[in-house]
Structure 1
Amino acid sequence: MKGVLLTIVSASSFMMAGQALAVDAKVAEALAQKNGCLACHSVAVKVIGPSYQDVATKYRGDKTAEAKLIAKVKEGGSGVWGPLRMPPNSPHVKDEDIKIVVQWVLSL
């Protein structure tokens, strides 16, 4: 009986964690929209910049990716995805917003 109860509790915890992630994704996507990120990027399709799924794939397994991408979003840059320059997003986008959006992108 203890094993069954533990399984039920674990499954419930997993489902709740999944729901929390869905909420976080919605929040992150709303922040990306609010801060103008989606003018140049989309989740699945290259617009001006790469799709967020392509970014996630490129950096999958890179333990330094979050810090790299936060810096890239803040400072801007070019050369990784082509010749067009991504403009700097600091100081008009809050650091917390950048971090949330980058974590979301990397989770795709």
Structure 2
Amino acid sequence: MKRAFLAIATLAAGFAVSTPALADLQLATAKNCMACHAVATKLVGPSYKDVAAKYAGQKDAVDKLAAKVIKGGSGAWGPVPMPANAQVSPDEAKKLVTWILSQK
């Protein structure tokens, strides 16, 4: 009985720790971000690891990139513009960008 409880508690703790990263990946997938971006490789747009590296240490990065997610932008990563994503709320954009910037 004690072993079963310990196994369940360990599993629950592991799930609780991994859930935020999974949830943000799920949000990125749900909002179609993954159609142009990947975590570790360049697709149409830069990889999230490359974005995290470029904006590391910039205090205004979350707000600046959240606005870019919603309004779109061009020129920061080459000639292909990022389209506006009006279906992403400001809170979702900040959550996505915070997750993106955590990719190392």
Give the TM-score of the pair, scaled to structure 1: 0.78
Q: How many Å apart are 1:77 and its aligned residue? A: 0.5
Q: SS at 1:57's partner residue?
A: helix
2:63 is matched with which residue?
67
Q: Confirm or deny: 8 A CA contact 2:36 2:45 kept in the other structure.
A: yes
The equivalent of 1:29 in structure 2 is 25
Alignment partner, residue 97 of structure 2: 102
With the length of structure 2 as denominator, give the TM-score of the two structures: 0.81
The alignment partner of 2:73 has SS state of coil
Whole-angstrom CA distance in 1 between matches of 2:69 and 2:17? 22
| Pick aligned residue for 1:45 from 27, 30, 41 | 41
- Aligned structure 1 segments of 4 or more residues deviating by more than 4 angstroms: 18-21
CA contact (8 A) 2:70 2:89 kept: no
Q: How many residues align?
A: 91
Give ranges in structure 2 of 5+ residues lacking alignment: 1-12
Equivalent residue in structure 1 for 2:83, among 79, 84, 87: 87
Match of 1:13 in 2: none
More displaced stretch, 51-60 vs 97-106: 97-106
- Can you give the 5+ residue segments of structure 1 that lack an aligned partner in the other structure? 1-15
Identity across aligned pairs (percent)?
A: 49
CA RMSD of aligned residues (A): 1.5
